[in-house]
């Protein structure tokens, strides 16, 4: 969402006391990443500008398709890791980062109050939130994807290319099935890229984990769906898509429903992978409304 448009939507009606957070300010466009990650010290400054303090419970929500959780998940993944891990991508307590299941639409369906105030937090000094560099634990870079073990790259550690079972990786492509299968626009240059997916990668569309009402499916449904889409237990998980958005949503939902899994997100687009000459052809969060010592943030 463009920053100006998303801010206008926020001012047209939002949850009372919710501050506005812009994806286009929290992240930046680079050559191969629509939403690239800032170094922790830069991200820290932006979060402090919003007014976040150490120890506060951050509740993220957004609007739009899939209960708005595509956008809020992107930020949540930077702040929150799996429940069994004490640190997060940027260091916030994972027990104090929540998504509003169903986003703003769920709030409105219940007839709850909206505000048009431009919430400015803080009134005085900025927040004191501190970032810590844990990005490599929860995100994977292109350079690591192409690292070799023998004659195979990390991204080739799949059963389809005959990799040894002990070293297999669950590569989960979070895009819609039409993009994965090539029946919809993949966003890639068809004159330079053949096919629509990487051999051995499994299609696990994040969109399929949301019900028609925009809220998450049950944990049992999510677990069953994960195995039905090719997940192999006890193997590392890497999620990816075209921009890191759906991949973050998938990772966030997996860590919620199956906390023993610690996914990593490939944040870049498929472009640098697809254009590598050496590669084969591309073939319910609870509705939390505890405002005491908590910070509600709308992501747009």
Annotated catalytic residues are 241
DSSP assignment, residue 299? E
Can you state the angle between helices 69-79 and 245-257, rounded to 10 degrees? Answer: 70
Contacts of 83 (CB under 8 A, 6+ apart): 94, 95, 255, 259
CA distance linking residue 245 with residue 222, whole number of Å:
19
What are residue 251's phi and psi, to 5 degrees? -65, -40
| Cis-peptide into 201, omega within 30 deg | no
Contacts of 88 (CB under 8 A, 6+ apart): 78, 79, 80, 81, 94, 97, 134, 138
The sign of the CA dihedral 261, 61, 92, 267 is positive
Q: Residue 77 CA to chain centroid, in angstroms?
A: 5
Q: How many CB atoms lie within 10 A of CB 239?
A: 27
Contact 64, 1 (CB under 8 A): yes
DSSP assignment, residue 281? P
């Amino acid at each position: 969402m463009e920053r100006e448009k998303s801010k206008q939507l926020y001012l047209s009606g939002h949850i009372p006391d919710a501050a506005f957070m812009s994806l286009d300010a929290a992240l930046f466009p680079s050559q191969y990443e629509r939403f690239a990650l800032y170094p922790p010290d830069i991200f820290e400054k932006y979060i402090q500008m919003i007014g976040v303090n150490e120890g506060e419970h951050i509740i993220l929500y957004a609007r739009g398709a899939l209960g708005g959780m595509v956008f809020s998940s992107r930020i949540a993944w930077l702040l929150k890791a799996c429940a069994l891990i004490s640190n997060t991508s940027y260091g916030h307590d994972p027990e104090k980062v929540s998504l509003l299941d169903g986003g703003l639409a769920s709030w409105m369906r219940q007839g709850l109050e909206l505000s048009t105030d431009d919430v400015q937090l803080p009134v005085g000094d900025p927040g004191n939130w501190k970032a810590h560099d844990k990005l490599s634990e929860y995100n994977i870079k292109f350079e690591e994807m192409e690292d070799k073990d023998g004659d195979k790259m990390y991204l080739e550690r799949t059963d389809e290319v005959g990799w040894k079972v002990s070293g297999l990786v669950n590569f989960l492509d979070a895009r819609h099935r039409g993009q994965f299968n090539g029946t919809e626009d993949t966003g890639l240059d068809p004159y330079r890229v053949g096919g629509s997916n990487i051999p051995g990668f499994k299609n696990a569309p994040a969109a399929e984990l949301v019900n028609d009402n925009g809220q998450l499916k049950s944990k049992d449904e999510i677990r069953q769906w994960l195995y039905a889409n090719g997940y192999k237990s006890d193997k590392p998980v890497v999620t990816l898509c075209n921009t890191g958005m759906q991949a973050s949503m998938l990772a966030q939902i997996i860590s919620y429903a199956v906390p023993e899994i610690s996914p990593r997100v490939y944040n870049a687009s498929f472009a640098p992978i697809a254009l590598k000459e050496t590669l084969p052809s591309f073939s319910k969060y609870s509705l939390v409304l505890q405002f005491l010592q908590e910070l509600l943030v709308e992501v747009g």
